[in-house]
Structure 1
Amino acid sequence: MLTTQTCLVTGSSRGIGRGIALDLASHGATVVVNYRSGEAEAATVVEEIEANGGTAISMQCDVSDYDEVAAMCERVHDRVGPIDVLVNNAGITIDKTFTNMTREDWDRVMDVNLGGVFNSTNCFFDDLLDAEHGRLINISSVVGQQGNYGQANYATTKSGLFGFTRTIALEMARSGSTANCVAPGFVKTDMLDIVPSEVQEKILGRIPLGRFASVEDITGMVSYVASPKSAYMTGQVLSVNGGMDW
């Protein structure tokens, strides 16, 4: 399904990003595994893809630094050529109630979660416009739709992706390329595991399907959006949240 596609997934050494990279590769895509500090974890992702007959490379880069992203773009072009699919997945949390949140806490989350999306999209934008099936996929969150206690910075960045996606979709449309946003609910990853059990129980009570998402619940949607089958869908926010109302 994706045998002609080259896909770059930011922040894909672990968590949802790792799952996205593995799933794209399982559908035949060549995958660029981006990481900031998890070199060993990224290498493991590449090894797993290659062990299953796929093609992947790893690329170190802090997406919040524009110069680093521009340099990564050149390295990607040298190694695998232009990309067809960009998955903006990299993100961080610094959770505090607003009264305790510093400007540094605010700026750091903005720099990675929104600044990183700008940097990566800007550097690879021409690739996406020129690709036969260019796909920009931004990974948001149900927190961007609902808000969440102690996450004013994170929620703001994730809701900001909705407006960014819809606007870029309009600007990409002339080339036939698309931009969409996938907004997962609460997913069983290391990030959720550190949430106190009593808080997890309260969250579960708000999910009609009665369970947290698996990584695989999210990756299937991303692979569909990355594929030629999604050619007539653009500017959409695709909620994968177990039925949580927003």
Structure 2
Amino acid sequence: MKKTVLITGASRGIGREIAKLFAANDYNVAINYFKSEEEAEKLYLHLRDEGYSVIKVQGDVSNRIQVDSMMNIIYNRFGDIDVLVNNAGVAQQKLFTDISEDDWDWMFNVNIKGMFNCCQAVLPKMINNKRGKIINISSIWGLTGSSCEVHYSASKAAVIEFTKALAKEVGPSNIQVNCVAPGIIKTDMITHLNTSIIEKLKSDTPLGILGTPRDIAEVVLFLASSKADFITGQIISPNGGFVI
């Protein structure tokens, strides 16, 4: 039977590539987006026209009512959700002394509460079915911390510990929960950086290159597969050696 994956924040960047790869590997794909409707529509039409089984569902993951509504749409269309990829996230660069309370709350509402909402929404069915995969997207800055990104780093570190704790709790129900912590990836999040900074990041990476969204998508697909059935509570960091 064809499995179903829900990818939050799937309209752009890493999420978009994850959606494309899962579709090509015979999954039903639910594309979640919040504000990027035009990008989500383009991705949906592209995958649909390729003959893949796909829907798009709008929803703010930090809003539980919207999350529950989104899940109902997916369940009505595909039945179960076999794989949840918590990819939706926000980032911001600011001096710590300039971070406002609103900045802090926004960061944790999307990056942490959004993950909490989606996991709580899918787990009852996964536990009942005694199977399921949850893959949370963190960052190398959740492992090491990053200057001028204290709130982002803290939220991504929380993703890591959330993953470990939840894996222990739902493991007896045959549900695997893992985390991917990407390194420097060529997405919109680094377009604001000038050429000299990009080159410095490359030189600081032992492999001498930046990652691509496809690099991350391949790891996520592996963790969602039966090949990873004995892997849970782990943090895998595709980063070219940037963090070792």
Q: What TM-score comes out, normalization by structure 2 length?
A: 0.96
Aligned counterpart, 1:13? 11
- Give the drift of 1:76: 1.5
- Contact 1:7/1:86 (CA < 8 Å) preserved in 2? yes
SS of corresponding position for 1:184 = coil
- Please point out which of 157, 161, 176 is paired with 1:163: 161
- Contact 2:5/2:29 (CA < 8 Å) preserved in 1? yes
* Farther-moved stretch of structure 1 (203-212 vs 16-25): 203-212
Give the residue type in structure 2 aligned to 1:150.
Answer: C
Consecutive aligned runs of 4 or more in structure 1 exceeding 3 Å deviation: 130-133
Q: What TM-score comes out, normalization by structure 1 length?
A: 0.95
- Give the drift of 1:133: 4.2
Query: Distance between the aligned counterparts of 1:126 and 1:43, measured in 2?
Result: 30
Give the residue type in structure 2 aligned to 1:64.
Answer: S
CA RMSD of aligned residues (A): 1.3
Unaligned runs of 5+ in 1: none
Which whole-Å deviations, capped at 9, do the CAs of 1:187-229 have from their partners, x for residues lacking one? 1011111122222222222210111101111111100111111
Query: Distance between the aligned counterparts of 2:182 and 2:215, measured in 1?
Result: 9
- Aligned ranges 1:105-124 → 2 under 5 Å: 105-124=103-122
- Contact 1:84/1:127 (CA < 8 Å) preserved in 2? no
Aligned counterpart, 1:103? 101
Aligned counterpart, 2:231? 233
Query: Distance between the aligned counterparts of 1:127 and 1:195, measured in 2?
Result: 43
Query: Distance between the aligned counterparts of 1:131 and 1:11, measured in 2?
Result: 26
Aligned counterpart, 2:140? 142
Unaligned runs of 5+ in 2: none
Query: Distance between the aligned counterparts of 1:236 and 1:101, measured in 2?
Result: 31
Report how many residues are paired: 244
- Contact 1:139/1:182 (CA < 8 Å) preserved in 2? yes
Query: Distance between the aligned counterparts of 2:89 and 2:243, measured in 1?
Result: 24
Query: Distance between the aligned counterparts of 1:131 and 1:14, measured in 2?
Result: 31
Q: Does 1:26 align with 2:10?
A: no
Q: Does 1:38 align with 2:36?
A: yes
Give the residue type in structure 1 aligned to 2:225.
Answer: S
Query: Distance between the aligned counterparts of 2:130 and 2:219, measured in 1?
Result: 20
* Farther-moved stretch of structure 1 (143-152 vs 199-208): 199-208
Aligned counterpart, 2:59? 61
